[in-house]
Structure 1
């Protein structure tokens, strides 16, 4: 089972290495990882996606909470939440295909953020399945380069926020 974990941590060097090391030592593969400062610069939020059954993951969550620099850990996937990935993708636009690529980008609610003589760079965000579908639609045009962020997620309710 896939779990999206969100950890509120102290914004200090080495916290990410400590957390990822703890997960690795328990044989968890991190499928996705994103980290950034929160609304309070003293804290960062680490969002990671791991697979495992509920019992094993609950144990990992409890181990994470024992780390001194970890303030709180929440299995976001157990709550109602919103998740997003961000992708930048360079696509060939040779032989008059630029308008087709532009139209498909608009259908997927993406934005063209860079234009070259024979390619465009597109920014698109959304759930993972949307990004995967967009990649498949762009393959026939020729993908030059692609980069994605890790997953980010927040619970919908203010009462279950990680920062509280």
Structure 2
């Protein structure tokens, strides 16, 4: 399906987007694209002492504010968004990712994170902006009849940060 990617100071770029394959999210999981696990921290009372449960064990809380965890989440969402775009553009010979798609097979299991990072750098080199990735993911979501928390989170990550990680 043709999709016009608007350009700020030039003609739009025409992309041939296709819906994502059924099981796309499971495919990513099988190939090691897995959400990071948030770290735990000790719960503390107002005096800074560790809180204990009824059995005297320290209470632990999920620490979603941890900087390392937040950076890992941003990179995870970036990889999902880029891989979604790569799969949606897999039949478009004019896309900036055309040369990055393996000819006979997809990358081996352990190499998908590196492949996603390579695809991201290819898009950056091709002049793509954060909004381009957001617009493409929005259209892919529509084409695929997909309401995905992961793609929505990836889109939010790109629209909020305005910068790239990789």
* Shorter-normalised TM range: under 0.3
Instruction: Name the structure with the higher helix share.
Output: 2
Q: State the TM-score, normalizing by the size of structure 2.
A: 0.24
Q: State the TM-score, normalizing by the size of structure 1.
A: 0.25
